[in-house]
Amino acid sequence: MAFSIRIFWKPMDLGCRYVSKTATKTVSDFEYDAPCMKTPVPGPRSKELTKQLGEIQNVAAINFFCNYEESRGNYLVDADGNRMLDLYTQISSIPLGYNHPALMKALTNPNNLSAFVNRPALGILPPENFPDNLTESLLSIAPAGMSRVQTMACGSCSNENAFKAMFIWYRNKERGTNSPSPEETSSCMINQSPGCPDLSILSFMGAFHGRTMGCLATTHSKVIHKLDIPSFDWPIAPFPKLKYPLEEFVRENAQEEARCLEEVEDLIVKWRQKGKPVAGIITEPIQAEGGDNHASSDFFIKLHNIARKHGCAFHVDEVQTGGGATGKWWAHEHWGTNDPADIVSFSKKMLSGGYYHKAELQPDKGYRIFNTWMGDPSKNLFLSEVLNVIRRENLLEEVTRSGKTLLQGLYELQSQYPHLLSQARGQGTFCAIDAPDDVTRDKLLLKIRDKGVLLGGCGEKSIRFRPALVFKEYHAHQFLNIFNDVLAKYKSSSGRLW
């Protein structure tokens, strides 16, 4: 059977031409037409640079070196001149693709220069325009019911400080006052209770919330993140393991979710009895690093209700899901509730890290949640521009549309190659599909890369899609055709992968 999506190919120039260098409105006016591969990846130049950097740093995780000057829109150019359709975007962190004209313009705007040159210690000496800067950027897309935001540097730093905010809130509640006893102030200096209380955060198996010490205690996706690092005795609940497509397995999935919720409640009770009460529950709306594991709105609403019932804060980690990839600013908006969380953390596509929070989660004193930079206003300036482009070009609708095309194509491919692909799933362009095992998945990823498409793995055997918000339907077709070619090659061989 001929693969139907092939007919949707955008007419394109197969050479290495790009359309225009001028700064224009939409990404298709300035980006390249298609991938263009000159060497296997990594090529000789990347290998040479890896050797050079290896004299200075650990390079074991480096894939290849990039030429960011030449990269445009959805296409990343490497140091050997290979041009790849980038569906991974620096681990889901490039909202508008590479070298977007709107961001180039923001950088060269003389009014912005001082924000780029003078990085302030925001917690003590913010620039005059900081309230406006926050209002125009982060607050303009604040989740429902949240009018406060705390900026931070990276995702881990955001979660780490959000945990502290939850602990402070919890202790003030327990104590019934914001004033600590002399016993608390002296014991905290030597890491002892009651000043350093035995509180806990409940997280889910398969979660990823960062690699700093507190966050790592709530991260349970891969051994390599955890090994040899001391951790806290905090409760870990099972995250639902659902069958996809979700619409077809409603009853089984609901049972699985009920099992996990029951376990959450048991753990909260158990940890209270152990003397380590759960101050907060943290969850991703879609477990990303752990394998793109979805759960229903019903699951999350019930989880929030459990948190409320037991007096725990509810923290939604949108570091990877936030910023538009699911077709809404925030993935949790798909739950359809007006009271989604007490804390929502972000980073990646939001360019600055940080967290939104309800007013009661703000500590009563300065310096309780604090560090030198507390974010970077120049990143918020860029974010304002990103949000302008998203609104002007209706990119959330575009993401919904191109995501549907991508997912439909993945459904077709998994029915055509059931021995290689299964469990296609996604929301917007935040999609994934499973290979039979990790070895096949990794081989597929390398083969696809040599054909000019960059993708990532997640979980045990999943391939994940994390394109920029400027990923259009024709990019989806471009990818699906390349993927089909790679899979067809496998089909014609004698059952072994290349």
Where in the sequence numbering do the catalytic residues fall? Answer: 208, 317, 348, 372
Options 209-217, 242-250, 369-377, 392-400: segment touching ligand PSZ (CB under 6 A): 209-217
Nearer to ligand PSZ, 316 or 482 (CB): 316
Of 151, 156, 161, 380, which one interacts with ligand PSZ (CB under 6 A)? 156
Q: What share of the chain is helix, strand, coil (3-state, %, to 5)?
A: 40, 15, 45
In angstroms, give the least distance from the CB of 467 to ligand PSZ: 16
In angstroms, give the least distance from the CB of 319 to ligand PSZ: 3
**DSSP 8-state assignment for residue 111:** G
Of 284, 292, 376, 398, which one interacts with ligand PSZ (CB under 6 A)? 284
Q: Which residue shows structure tokens 């620039």?
A: 127
Query: What is the C-alpha to C-alpha distance for residues 385 and 192, in angstroms, rounded to an integer?
Result: 47
Query: What is the C-alpha to C-alpha distance for residues 277 and 200, in angstroms, rounded to an integer?
Result: 6
In angstroms, give the least distance from the CB of 353 to ligand PSZ: 6
205 is a contact residue toward ligand PSZ (CB under 6 A): no
351 is a contact residue toward ligand PSZ (CB under 6 A): no
Q: Which of 419, 451, 464 is nearest to 437 (CA)?
A: 419
**Beta strands 83-86; 453-454: pairing state:** parallel
Nearer to ligand PSZ, 45 or 226 (CB): 226
62 is a contact residue toward ligand PSZ (CB under 6 A): no
Options 75-83, 150-158, 260-268, 390-398: segment touching ligand PSZ (CB under 6 A): 150-158
Of 45, 164, 175, 211, which one interacts with ligand PSZ (CB under 6 A)? 211
155 is a contact residue toward ligand PSZ (CB under 6 A): yes
| Assigned token pair, 305 | 């209700």
Say which residues have a Cβ less than 8 Å from residue 457's Cβ, sequence separation at least 6.
438, 441, 442, 445, 463, 464
Nearer to ligand PSZ, 317 or 398 (CB): 317
**Binding string, residues 84-123; x marks residues near ligand PSZ by CB under 6 A:** -------x--------------------------------
Report CA dihedral (216, 220, 222, 225) to the nearest 10 degrees.
10
Nearer to ligand PSZ, 91 or 107 (CB): 91
| Assigned token pair, 220 | 């349970």
203 is a contact residue toward ligand PSZ (CB under 6 A): no
Of 292, 317, 342, 376, which one interacts with ligand PSZ (CB under 6 A)? 317
Of 141, 168, 319, 350, which one interacts with ligand PSZ (CB under 6 A)? 319
- State which H helix or E strand residue 148 sits in: strand 148-152
CA quadruple 387, 389, 394, 397: dihedral positive or negative?
negative
For the chain, the distance separating the N- and C-terminal CA atoms, rounded to the nearest angstrom, is 22
Nearer to ligand PSZ, 333 or 485 (CB): 333
Q: Give me the residue whose beta carbon is nearest to ligand PSZ.
A: 155
Where do the H-state alpha helices sit in 15-109?
A: 44-54, 89-92, 101-108
Q: How many residues bind ligand PSZ (CB under 6 A)?
A: 16
209 is a contact residue toward ligand PSZ (CB under 6 A): yes
Nearer to ligand PSZ, 157 or 413 (CB): 157
Q: Which residue shows structure tokens 């024709």?
A: 474
Nearer to ligand PSZ, 187 or 212 (CB): 212
CA 183 to chain CA centroid, nearest Å: 41
**DSSP 8-state assignment for residue 286:** S
∠ Cα 145 147 150 (to 5°): 125
Query: What is the C-alpha to C-alpha distance for residues 312 and 306, in angstroms, rounded to an integer?
Result: 8
**DSSP 8-state assignment for residue 98:** B
Query: What is the C-alpha to C-alpha distance for residues 136 and 420, in angstroms, rounded to an integer?
Result: 46
Of 101, 143, 210, 323, which one interacts with ligand PSZ (CB under 6 A)? 210
Map the footprint of ligand PSZ across residues 214-273, applying CB under 6 A: none
Strand ranges of the sheet holding 453-454, from the earlier edge strand across to the other edge: 75-77, 83-86, 453-454
Of 133, 283, 347, 462, which one interacts with ligand PSZ (CB under 6 A)? 347
Nearer to ligand PSZ, 257 or 317 (CB): 317
In angstroms, give the least distance from the CB of 115 to ligand PSZ: 22
285 is a contact residue toward ligand PSZ (CB under 6 A): no
Say which residues have a Cβ less than 8 Å from residue 243's Cβ, sequence separation at least 6.
249, 252, 253, 423
Beta strands in 375-478 (DSSP E): 422-427, 430-434, 453-454, 456-458, 462-465
In angstroms, give the least distance from the CB of 61 to ligand PSZ: 8
In angstroms, give the least distance from the CB of 284 to ligand PSZ: 5
What are the CA-CA distances from residue 93 to residues 322, 407, 448 (Å)? Answer: 10, 21, 21
139 is a contact residue toward ligand PSZ (CB under 6 A): no
Q: Given the rule CB under 6 A, which residues bind ligand PSZ?
A: 91, 154-156, 159, 208-211, 284, 288-289, 317, 319-320, 347
